[in-house]
Structure 1
Amino acid sequence: MAPDIPDDRLDELIAEATLDAYDEDEQRAAFAAVLQDNLQVPFETTVLGVRVRVTGVTDSPGTGIAAICRGGKHRQLIGILDLPLPEPPPAGAEWIAAYRRWGG
């Protein structure tokens, strides 16, 4: 579940993340960097009934900002906005909420 954060706080996070970014691509890359720096990994969650360990965040062509998920021998990228968060969410999850608001 996503953390319940007031809109004004999300707007502050968006402004902080995108301060020096001038177009949409730079802003997305800035959010990727902020998530890499602030989302506490690793953490475990469940994706389609399978327990996975989120080990990081990446920004890749075609996927956009994605969580790096590992389950057993398998590794898969899952869009950060599609990732179900555990309860309680990991530290830094407010940045995912800010990214969701930014992407509208």
Structure 2
Amino acid sequence: MASKGNAALEAMIEEATVDTDGYEDERTGLFTMIEEYLAVLFTSTVLGVEVTVRKIDLTADGIVAVCFRGRHRQRIGLLDLPLPTPAPDGAAWIDAYRHWAGR
């Protein structure tokens, strides 16, 4: 999936953050949309190692992907998570989050 243009990303951010008050609320709004629309159980490669993303979580540091490899688990910030090609359904919400975080 090609990355959406800035206008489309801004519209998504507006949808996710309507009726929010401040940074934390906005981030929570974006997390809610990612959690709802991102198709989890997809693979990614982190530092040359294939991992399975099983869920998305909201922490004090930001939105993270909970990645598994065997019995090991690691949280990777969505801002740093490489997306596979093709990207999973709903990955446009990750693009929107990245756009929002870069403002």
TM-score normalised per structure 1: 0.93
* 2:49 alignment counterpart: 50
Distance 1:100 1:9 in 2: 13
User: Is 1:37 matched up with 2:36?
Assistant: yes
Shift of 1:3: 3.6
Shift of 1:14: 0.4
Distance 1:22 1:55 in 2: 30
Amino-acid identity (%): 43
Shift of 1:26: 0.4
Cα distance change, pair 3–82 in 1 and its aligned pair in 2 (3 A): farther
1:97 alignment partner AA: D
* 2:82 alignment counterpart: 84
Structure 2 portions without partners, runs of 5+: none
Contact 1:3 1:93 in 2 (8 A): no
1:57 alignment partner AA: I
Shift of 1:40: 0.4
Contact 1:67 1:80 in 2 (8 A): yes
> RMSD of aligned C-alpha atoms?
1.1
* 1:75 alignment counterpart: 73
Structure 1 portions without partners, runs of 5+: none
